[in-house]
Amino acid sequence: MNKYNFAFFDEQSKREIRRALLKAVAIPGYQVPFASREMPIARGWGTGGLQVMLAIVGKKDVIKVIDQGSDDSVNAVSIRKFIQQMTGVLETAETSEASIVQSRHRVPEVPLTGEQILILQVPIPEPLRETEQSELRAKRLHAEKEYSGVWLSLFEQIMKYGCTATGADHPTMVHERYVMSPSPIPRYDNRRLNDCAALILFGAGREKKIYALPPYTKVESLAFVDRPFVSESMHGKICRLCGAEGVFLDESVQAAGAGPFYECNDTGYCRQRQSSKSRLDRGEQSGD
């Protein structure tokens, strides 16, 4: 650890990212270009989020890193270990204890507070990329608030499938100005970006872009008046481990003949509920 500066980066690298972050916060949903340094993990594996984290993290922070809701996946563990080795900060799996949460493709189930910062890793930050390949033309379209291509793409999905077919990364309108990719979070999480109490920072290392949502910013998922935005339905499904309902669940298939079962996607949340439940159970038993 001593071979490196605090938080891995030299101070000039941090300064460049910090300047980009300030402009990103000042223009919600607008993609600010940044230099995107080489990192000890490959681009596309969370280098954008990692760079944002290293530019802002301090000695007193407590960090949580999750990957698709899991604290224990390879990506989450390696990023968390790297940050911890480069800074010596404390780490946690409990969302409420963390001052900075870095996440790949999920917003934690526990509501975030105004004292917390959520960093989302972004593979493709440009919501117009599917309809406009040129970076320069895409920037011009953003400048002119010309989003017909995105609307047409959603319209085509409805014509083809009867509904919008964005499994994740459903485009959003931020502060009534910029169409923004919310990163590949499930549609369930899109609503939770709107008016969120926490500051949300997005880092795309491969595409060299940073953008942000300040707290209490209006974030609307794109939808038509007669085809409202619909998130994944968890109706009637229960986590088999903690009994949670109405949260984002993973579906797993059992052996032939048996139906599917469900577990909370956010493993930290699920474990917290399980330990509360077992404490309660123990309390009830001792009360007998």
Which residues form the catalytic set? 29, 239, 242, 264, 270
Out of 218, 227, 237, 271, name the contact with other proteins by CB under 8 A.
Answer: 218
- Which of 183, 185, 182 shows the shortest CA–CA distance to 220? 182
DSSP 177: T
- Which of 31, 25, 1, 8 shows the shortest CA–CA distance to 215? 25
Residue 45, interface with other proteins (CB under 8 A)?
no
Residue 32 or 242 having the CB closest to other proteins: 32
Check: CB of residue 187 under 8 Å from CB of residue 154. Answer: no
Check: CB of residue 115 under 8 Å from CB of residue 99. Answer: yes
CB of 57 to other proteins, least distance (A): 8
Residue 56, interface with other proteins (CB under 8 A)?
yes
Q: Which residues pair with 64 in a beta bridge?
A: 101
Out of 1, 26, 74, 280, name the contact with other proteins by CB under 8 A.
Answer: 26
Contact letters for other proteins, residues 178-217 (x by CB under 8 A): x------------------x-x------------xxxxxx
Residue 127, interface with other proteins (CB under 8 A)?
no
Q: Calculate the CA 62 to chain-centre distance.
A: 18
The first and second tokens of residue 194, run together, are: 């709107």
Q: Which residues pair with 202 in a beta bridge?
A: 120, 211
Q: By CB under 8 A, how many residues form the interface with other proteins?
A: 44
**Site residues, other proteins (CB under 8 A):** 5-7, 11-12, 14-16, 18-28, 30, 32-33, 56-59, 114, 139-140, 142-144, 175, 177-178, 197, 199, 212-218
